[in-house]
Amino acid sequence: MADVTHEPTVSFATKPYDWTHWLLELDGARATLKMNIQEDGGLRPGYELKLNSYDMGVDIELYDVLQHLRFEHPEVSVVTVTSAIDRVFCSGANIYMLASSSHPFKVNFCKFTNETRCSMEEPESPHFIAALNGACAGGGYELAMACDEIYLVDDGSSAVSLPEVPLLGVLPGTGGLTRLTDKRRVRRDLADVFCTKAEGFRAKPAKSGRFIDDAFPRSKWEASIDRLSMAAVEKLGGARQASGISWTPMAPTQTETGLDWEHLSLAFAAEQRTATLTIKGPQSAPPTSGAEFQAMGASAWCIAVFRELEQAIFELRFNHATVGMILIKTQGDSEKVLEWDAFLANNQDHWLARQTVSFQRRTLQRVDNMSRSMFALIEEGHCFAGVLFELTVAADRSYMFMDDDDENQVHLGPANGNGDKGGPFPMANGLTRLENRFYGEPESVANALQASPIGAEDAEGLGLVTLSLDDIDYEDEVRIAIEERVSLSPDALTGMEQNLRFTGAEGMDNRIFGRLTAWQNWIFQRPNAVGDSGALTLYGQPERPDFDFRRT
């Protein structure tokens, strides 16, 4: 079912606790995660992962490690990220991998790594300490900046750097520029020097400029990092008394039309360049206690369906590049969806309920960041309610079928917002999707939240759907809208959608996924980077890049 592209199909299968590129050591409330990237272990042939440089396969494993830490090891509160290779922490994304990749792969690779690193900064994630035991460049330093603390070995040679601009003619692709100023509070002029100085800064200037938190000589390195991790555990309240659930591997079944999971299916229409994503609501009521929920483990509907949605997003991004339109549908009982939402909301004192809501939030944000047109189709028998109604508001448009008896209704609840308290599923801009939809109109948000359940005509009147249509018009109107949409320029649509999906002030995450993604998308196509004489193309060769020096 994969599209024909320059790259083979990307597999997201992993070997938990036998990862190719990562070593995880568990010690009660502490864990140590070591980068041990295998040079010959690239996702595809044609390059070697030297000096702990990484590719998509390395980052797929990193994300899998983090998921296992969150769900299987809730007792871990502090994770030290370091390298198994002496004097090298990480040299960043593998340049030869990037240079040999298609444009869509480059952009989706950066998006995936961004999402992984942003997830490390969420409240329900462990506290991360970056222990840079050697040279740290590019994406390696961006990984370090996603951590809560950064320490560098002071050996006279190890340095931190972001060499993308001077060496490759591109931008740091994983939020580096934004985290320097917004998170590390580095002065803009110092950040300018740093980002144009290929060799970066060693320990003393790095500490002075806030690029790291501290540095230690090799003779005191291990003892200092151990002391810091112990102090972090104590600051977080000591060891956690919790046992995890089994994060069992899962994969879809391939069918004649697409891919099927237990609670979700993807059906492709190649000629129309569309994919229909159908989510099935829960078949049973939620558990009655946190203990019962934990006993259900990863098979619980609220966890399993979002794992499947996440996998579907990955498949669409990497293996179905020509799909331009995603049609989102649901099937099931809206009341049961609301019951599961209520269970999670009422059990936030249980670690698994908190972690589940955090996972749902991250997955919904991946939907926001899809570079595909999305239409929600609210038809008879749907269950667009609560957390699943978030998909309706995330879509670019929504069409609701209006039946004669006004029984086709949408149901909102606390998952969609709590008035002036926001809600559990903010977008990257910090707003709920309803606040984003009705920007500057709090009364419209309040009216929508108070009106549930809502029939088709009222849903349109409240601004919750784009159009409500009866049985005479629904099929033709939706068909024409889809045909018109997929006929338009995909480049223009990507730019338009990404601009329209986010309103209001920018936060750090929003700058990363909005501004950075847009600029990197543009730069990755410019001759100064990827032309025959571009800096990325000629990296490692004796020829110097031949720049077009006109500023645009």
Q: Does residue 327 sit within a domain?
A: yes
The predicted pLDDT at position 1 comes to 42
The predicted pLDDT at position 3 comes to 42
Confidence of residue 239 (pLDDT cuts 50, 70, 90): confident
Confidence of residue 89 (pLDDT cuts 50, 70, 90): very high
The DSSP result for 196-242, as a single string, is T-TT-EEHHHHHHTTSSSEEE-GGGHHHHHHHHHHHHHHHTTS----
The answer for residues whose C-beta is within 8 angstroms of residue 230's C-beta and 6 or more apart is 30
Last residue of a domain, one of 477, 496, 515: 496
Cα distance between residue 466 and residue 458, in whole Å: 12
Residues 164 and 203 in one domain: yes
State yes or no: pLDDT of 539 exceeds 80: yes
**Range 15-30 average pLDDT:** 97
**Range 455-472 average pLDDT:** 95
**Domains of the chain: total:** 2
pLDDT (tens digit, 9 = 90+) per residue, 247-288?
Answer: 999 999 999 999 999 999 999 999 999 999 999 999 999 999
Residues 286 and 428 in one domain: yes
Q: Does residue 241 sit within a domain?
A: no
- What CATH number is associated with residue 389? 3.90.226.10
Q: Supply φ then ψ for residue 324, to 5 degrees.
A: -100, -15
Question: How many Cα atoms occupy the beta-carbon half-sphere of 485 within 13 Å?
Answer: 24
Residues 402 and 486 in one domain: yes
Residues 34 and 153 in one domain: yes
Residues 138 and 268 in one domain: no
Cα distance between residue 198 and residue 164, in whole Å: 8
The predicted pLDDT at position 2 comes to 41
Residues 51 and 163 in one domain: yes
The predicted pLDDT at position 6 comes to 54
Mean pLDDT over the full length of the chain: 94
Confidence of residue 30 (pLDDT cuts 50, 70, 90): very high
Helices 351-368/301-319 angle, 10° precision? 30
Q: Does residue 441 sit within a domain?
A: yes
Confidence of residue 4 (pLDDT cuts 50, 70, 90): very low
Quick check: bond before 282 cis, omega within 30? no
Of the candidates 362, 360, 364, the residue with the CA atom closest to the CA atom of residue 348: 360
Q: What is the DSSP letter of 265?
A: E
The DSSP result for 49-83, as a single string, is -GGGEE-HHHHHHHHHHHHHHHHH-TT--EEEEEE
Q: Does residue 532 sit within a domain?
A: no
Residues 225 and 309 in one domain: no
Q: Does residue 535 sit within a domain?
A: no
The predicted pLDDT at position 337 comes to 98
State yes or no: pLDDT of 300 exceeds 90: yes
pLDDT (tens digit, 9 = 90+) per residue, 335-389?
Answer: 999 999 999 999 999 999 999 999 999 999 999 999 999 999 999 999 999 999 9
Residues 266 and 180 in one domain: no
Residues 110 and 198 in one domain: yes
User: Residue 150's domain spans which residues?
Assistant: 22-235
Q: Supply φ then ψ for residue 110, to 5 degrees.
A: -65, -40
The predicted pLDDT at position 5 comes to 43
Q: Look-up: residue for tokens 């995450």?
A: 509
The predicted pLDDT at position 404 comes to 83
Residues 200 and 274 in one domain: no
Cα distance between residue 381 and residue 224, in whole Å: 60
pLDDT (tens digit, 9 = 90+) per residue, 391-443?
Answer: 999 999 999 999 988 889 999 999 999 877 789 999 999 999 999 999 999 99
Q: Look-up: residue for tokens 């993308």?
A: 164
Q: Does residue 424 sit within a domain?
A: yes
**Range 39-50 average pLDDT:** 95
Last residue of a domain, one of 470, 496, 522: 496
The predicted pLDDT at position 452 comes to 80
Cα distance between residue 447 and residue 449, in whole Å: 6
Give 491 or 363, the one with higher predicted confidence: 363
**Range 294-314 average pLDDT:** 98
Q: Does residue 551 sit within a domain?
A: no
Residues 32 and 141 in one domain: yes
The predicted pLDDT at position 278 comes to 98
The DSSP result for 134-181, as a single string, is EEEETHHHHHHHHSSEEEEE-SSS-EEE--IIIIISS--SSSHHHIII
The predicted pLDDT at position 520 comes to 76
State yes or no: pLDDT of 519 exceeds 90: no
Residues 226 and 374 in one domain: no
Q: Does residue 12 sit within a domain?
A: no
Confidence of residue 522 (pLDDT cuts 50, 70, 90): confident
Two tokens, residue 288: 């009655």
pLDDT (tens digit, 9 = 90+) per residue, 210-220?
Answer: 999 999 999 99
